[in-house]
A and B are shown apart, each in its own frame.
Chain A
Amino acid sequence: MNINLIFQIAGVAIIVSALHTMLKMAGKEDFAWLLTLAGIVLVLTMVIRVISDFMDAVKTMFNLY
């Protein structure tokens, strides 16, 4: 398990939440939500490989091939 991935996701989450708050304070709610969506997509692309590996492991464990 790569621990760096967890720290990367945490870092992205902190920065996206800070940017969301700032944009909301500046009255740009639509941009704030777009940015949050972009953050979610970014994190999903980061974890998609791990989820895929997890699914493969489940399939192997229960002989689902």
Chain B
Amino acid sequence: MLLLKLAGAVLVVGAGAALGHAVSQRYRQRPRELQQFQRALELLVTEISYAVSPLPHALGRAGVGTTYPVREVFSGAASRLASGGLVTAGDGWTAALDAATPALSLNAADLEIIRSLGAVFSMPGAREQVRHLELACRRLAQHESAARADESRYARLALQLGVLGALALTIVLL
């Protein structure tokens, strides 16, 4: 009986720690993903303004330096546009972003900035596109600094809350 209680307590504490870890990982991932989006957009600006690459190719190249969830957005949009059909640049971008959203740790405001890039890609004129991309980069930089402040405040807190909350539950249930 005591062994069973002990196993239950370990399971509850483990579940609490895992939950806290998952929440704290979202806080840790958000600034990194925002930074990767900024780097990729800067690369995209270069591709559009200097290399004058076609958009599918430019999106593919922009996503090269990024890792898993962010790369999915760029490679997904590039493959959707490259596959042809009646997909506009904006629709391809939005569809790729929607597909990758569950894996991203960004909040609604961050996603809104990135989603609005779909309309930018549909614009005629490279100069206008570059101007809007640079504006989006600056807004993402502001969000990144806020996300870094949140990370230093809440990432450890979430983990400790998970473990201590589970410990409190264990004490009550024992």
Residues on A close to B: CB < 8 A?
8, 11-12, 15-16, 18-19, 22-23, 26-27, 42, 46
Interface of B is mostly: helix
Asked if B160 is at the interface of the complex by the 8 Å CB criterion, the answer is yes
Q: For window 149-166 of chain B, which residues contact chain A by CB distance below 8 Å? A: 153-154, 157, 160-161, 164-165
B168 touches A12 (CB 8 A): yes
Partner of B157, one of A12, A16, A26: A26
B-side contacts of A18, CB under 8 Å: 164
- Chain B nearest CB from A37 CB (Å) reads 14
B167 touches A26 (CB 8 A): no
A-side contacts of B157, CB under 8 Å: 22-23, 26
**Bound CA–CA A26/B174 (angstroms):** 30
**Given A19-B165, A22-B161, A27 and B174 contact (CB-CB distance below 8 Å):** no
